Structure 1
Amino acid sequence: MLLITGGIISCSSTKDKYTDVTDIEDEFKIEKSGAQLWGEACNRCHLAPSPADYNDTDWNTISLHMRVRANLTEKEITKIETFLKSAN
């Protein structure tokens, strides 16, 4: 609502759920699988190793190290780690 009073313009509005762009982005965001994240994140800097190259314990250590190096979120690294361990 636009209100003009004595040369002063005032605008008052109610905020609905789509006022913020991030709200819209979150609603339509498509979640990537662990395999997709692995392919994108790991191949960004080096050839990604085969999931069968390491055992679960090795993948735990590698995941911790690469989470920091690749600036991955906890959710992303968990999905990647689950994918990699599924090959063992």
Structure 2
Amino acid sequence: MKIYKIKKNTWTLATGAGILLIVLINSCAESRKVADKTGVQLWSENCRRCHNPPASNTFSHEQWVMIGMHMQTRAQLTDKERDKIIAFLQQ
């Protein structure tokens, strides 16, 4: 009976570790996809999802930084994504 429990626990642990590994690899692949995107791509995918964004010359550089920080929370963007979008808008 003890051997059966040990084998079952080992199998369960190995299966759990395998699933965790798959999830981690998948999230790394998604992170690479986001890292490869430009500011204009991120702007188009995220900002336009909820509203018609204003023209880039509507706000000053400093205002875009504040808007970016606010919208980062609402759109659940990473710091890197926010920075790329702001850099695009400040051009």
TM-score (norm 1): 0.68
Runs of 4+ in structure 1 deviating by more than 6 angstroms, as ranges, are none
- Greater relative contact order (CA < 8 Å, ≥ 6 in sequence): 2
Higher strand share: 1
Letter in 1 for 2:23: T
Matches within 5 A, 1:4-83: 8=4, 10=7, 11=10, 20-25=21-26, 26-27=28-29, 29-30=32-33, 31-83=36-88
Q: Can you give the 5+ residue segments of structure 1 that lack an aligned partner in the other structure? A: none
Identity of aligned residues (%): 33
Q: Can you give the 5+ residue segments of structure 2 that lack an aligned partner in the other structure? A: none
Letter in 1 for 2:24: D
Map Cα deviations across residues 15-49 of structure 1 (whole Å, 9 max, x no partner): 78xx6123322147323211111111111111022
Q: Cα distance, 1:53 vs. partner?
A: 2.2
Aligned pair count reads: 80
Letter in 2 for 1:77: R
Larger radius of gyration: 1
Letter in 2 for 1:24: I
Root mean square deviation of aligned Cα: 2.7
